[in-house]
Amino acid sequence: AELERTFIAIKPDGVQRGLISEIIHRFERKGYKLVAIKLLIPSKEFAETHYDDLRGRPFFNGLCDFLSSGPVVAMVWEGQGVIKYGRKLIGATSPHNSEPGTIRGDLAISVGRNIIHGSDGPETAKAEIALWFKPEELVNYTSNAEKWLYE
C-alpha cells in the first residue's frame, strides 16, 4: 500500500459536541490507517501558523481564536489517495454546500463551526504533519487489513 498521509484535526466544536468517535469511525471504516493521534489545546500563535495562508482574510482572527479555544484531536491518517478522498469525506468548506453523507454535510451547519480540518494537498499535508507532530509520534506498523484493502 502507498504511504500517502494526511493531517486531520477535529476542531474544538467537534470535540465539545461529542463527535470524536463519529469522525474517527468514518476514516477508520473506509480503510485508512491511523498513524498518529493526540489531544491538545493549540495556542493562538500555533493556530496562526497552521492557518498562515489565510492571514489577511476577515475571518482569520476569529478562526484562530476558535481553533485555540479548546481541545483539538490531531491525527495523521494513511492510505492510497487519503489526501484527496479525505477531503471528500469531509465535504465542502461551508456546510451549507457540503453534500449529505459528508462529515460537514451530516454534522455541521455554519462555516465557522465546521468541526474538522483536512490537508488540501500533498504539500500542505507534509507541512501540517511536520507542524503538528514530531517524527517519533508517527507510528509505523502494518495493518492486518491491508492485504484485504489493496490488490
Binding residues: 11, 59, 87, 93, 104, 114
Specify the residue, 81 or 121, whose C-beta has the smaller distance to Mg ion: 121
* Residues taking part in catalysis: 117
Choices 15-23, 97-105, 113-121, 140-148 (CB under 5 A): range interacting with Mg ion = 113-121
- In 3D space, the residue among 94, 78, 107 whose CA is nearest the CA of residue 10 turns out to be 107
Distance from C-alpha of 138 to C-alpha of 27, rounded to nearest angstrom: 17
Binding site residues for ATP, as ranges? 11, 59, 87, 93, 104, 114
Q: Does residue 68 bind ligand DAT (CB under 6 A)? A: no
- The set of cell numbers assigned to 132 is 503538528
Distances in Å between the Cα of 133 and the Cα atoms of 64, 70, 127, 130 are 19, 18, 10, 5
Cβ-in-10-Å burial (0-12, 13-18, 19+) of 2 comes to: exposed
> Nearest to ligand DAT by Cβ — which residue?
93
- The set of cell numbers assigned to 30 is 473506509
Q: Does residue 28 bind ligand DAT (CB under 6 A)? A: no
Q: Phi, psi (5° rounding) for residue 72? A: -125, 140
Contact between 109 and 76 (Cβ < 8 Å):
no
Q: Which does 122 bind (CB under 5 to 8 A by kind): Mg ion, ligand DAT, none?
A: none
Q: Does residue 114 bind ligand DAT (CB under 6 A)? A: yes
Choices 20-28, 41-49, 73-81, 119-127 (CB under 5 A): range interacting with Mg ion = 119-127
Supply the minimum distance, in Å, between the C-beta of residue 100 and ligand DAT: 17
Contact between 41 and 71 (Cβ < 8 Å):
yes
Residues in touch with Mg ion (CB under 5 A): 120
Q: Which positions touch ligand DAT (CB under 6 A)?
A: 54, 59, 63, 93, 111-112, 114, 117, 120
